[in-house]
Amino acid sequence: MQQDGPTRDLSSRGQRYDAILDIMQHPSIQSFTIRGPRDFSKQSSLLSRSEDFSHLLRLDVSLHELKGDIPGVMHLITKASNLSDLAIGTGALEKDNGSLYVLEAYNAIAEHRTYPIHFKDLNLVIPPSLRESNQSKATQELLKFYCQNGSGMLDADRLDEVVVDTLAKAIATTNGSAFEALDLRRDDQLGDVFINNISSIVSRSELHEIWMCTREDSGRVRILESIQWKHLRRLDIRLKRGTFETRVMRALVDVVTKMSEKVELDQFWFWSESWDTPLTLPEGDLLQTFVASVSFKILVLLVDMTLDQILSLLKSTDFSRLEKLLLWAKDFDSVKVDAIIDGVGHATKLSVLELEHAHITDEQRRRMKSKGISLKNC
């Protein structure tokens, strides 16, 4: 289809793609595929047309190329009242918040469908259920299929309260774990309803990995307190600078010190919003207590500590599983590096010690190599 020039474009704004709708409205058309463009519903008269598409039996739309235009897709589907088959493509969205678009699309369609829905890129076919009118039950059905065939990642960075509420209600009636990973690195203020629902989802999910950005609110602490620690393998906490580090660490210490068995994490990352600007050490011995209460394979602490604090931390560290340790300091001079090398000891599985901003000599590298440890300045 040829593009009109600027003058023509201005005069026909809102009707640029009406030719597509005219083709769709022909009574001989029974199957139609839409592959974009992203502004289709806005740059056509779709939302204002009174005519329906009741002759259509099959519809194939791409959320990827329509950029998740749920209102436009939903309007089109309701106008196609006699559909017997609906195919939805997610494409690259599966790699970038694809679950968000899939859930929104399914929730919008669930009350109206009497036909199977094909989520093609997820290798997912959901059969019709004439009795299904409750959105929570519909989402429960999608969750079951999605967790069997999808990535198991709950990307909450762009989820709104409606979708999260529906997820929480569905998961509350679902047997087994809903998700394996949570990504909540958004740093905006979260509402109480959102926090409560995310906490509910976390408490009912056997999460293996969590990435979270925390700030000056108590909500994210409630999420941390909801974790099933026996399943968790990686915890990545990025903090906004301020006094909140103490609050987060106190919540973590309170949880792990009450566990009947020692918590095991494959990875723990504790760092600030900027890699080059570390956190100040939380007051007291909270970080030391947490490190002493958990067994790690990889421990990354981008926290500004004095040499005495680092050596005290090393004394409390469980080296039985630790394979990689990364520490930060404003000035890792040669004297400090020597003290840290002595503090690590010999009987350890540690294979990599990385010291941010350290001045490391060849002799120090040889000393660590004799212990089977690679000493690096990352």
Under a CB-based contact definition with an 8 Å cutoff, are residues 59 and 77 in contact? yes
The structure tokens listed for 132 are: 């299904």
What is the model's pLDDT at position 217?
Answer: 67
Question: Which helix or strand (DSSP H or E) is residue 219 part of?
Answer: helix 219-225
Asked, for residue 108, whether it belongs to a domain, the answer is: yes
Give the pLDDT confidence score for residue 131 in this predicted structure. Answer: 44
Q: Which helix (H) or strand (E) holds 19?
A: helix 18-24
Q: Calculate the CA 302 to chain-centre distance.
A: 22
3-class DSSP assignment, residue 81: coil
Helix axis angle, 307-316 to 286-293, nearest 10°: 30
Note whether residue 12 is domain-resident. Answer: yes
Contacts of residue 252, defined as CB under 8 A and 6 or more positions apart, other chains included, come to 224, 286, 290
Q: Which DSSP string corresponds to 107-174?
A: HHHHTT--S-EEEGGGTEEE---TT---HHHHHHHHHHHHHHHS--EEE-SS--HHHHHHHHHHHHT-
Residue 6 resides in a domain:
yes
Predicted local distance difference test score (pLDDT) of residue 50: 79
Please report the pLDDT score of residue 231 as a whole number: 92
What is the C-alpha end-to-end distance of the chain, expressed in Å?
A: 54
pLDDT for res 137: 56
How high is the pLDDT of residue 1? 33
Q: Is residue 147 part of a domain?
A: no
Q: Within 231-285, where are the H helices?
A: 244-256
Angle at 243 (CA atoms; ends 296, 306), nearest 5 degrees: 55
What local confidence, expressed as pLDDT, does residue 195 receive? 92
Q: What is the pLDDT of residue 163?
A: 67
Give the pLDDT of residue 10: 35
Domains of the chain: total: 1
Reading phi first (left if > 0) and then psi (alpha if -120 to 50, else beta), residue 303 is in beta
Domain membership of residue 8 (yes or no) is yes
Pair 31, 58: CB distance under 8 Å: yes
- Asked if residue 309 is part of any domain, the answer here is no
- Helix, strand and coil content of the chain, in percent to the nearest 5, comes to 40, 20, 40
Confidence (pLDDT) at 114: 73
Question: From the first residue on, what is the mean pLDDT of each consecutive set of 10 residues in the chain (378 residues)?
Answer: 37 66 90 79 80 90 71 80 84 50 65 72 63 52 56 70 73 71 85 90 91 81 91 90 70 90 95 76 84 95 88 91 89 87 81 89 91 86
The owner of tokens 């207590």 is 289
Q: Which residues span the domain enclosing 20?
A: 1-138
DSSP, res 356: E
Residue 109 lies in a domain: yes
The reply to whether 30 falls in a domain is yes
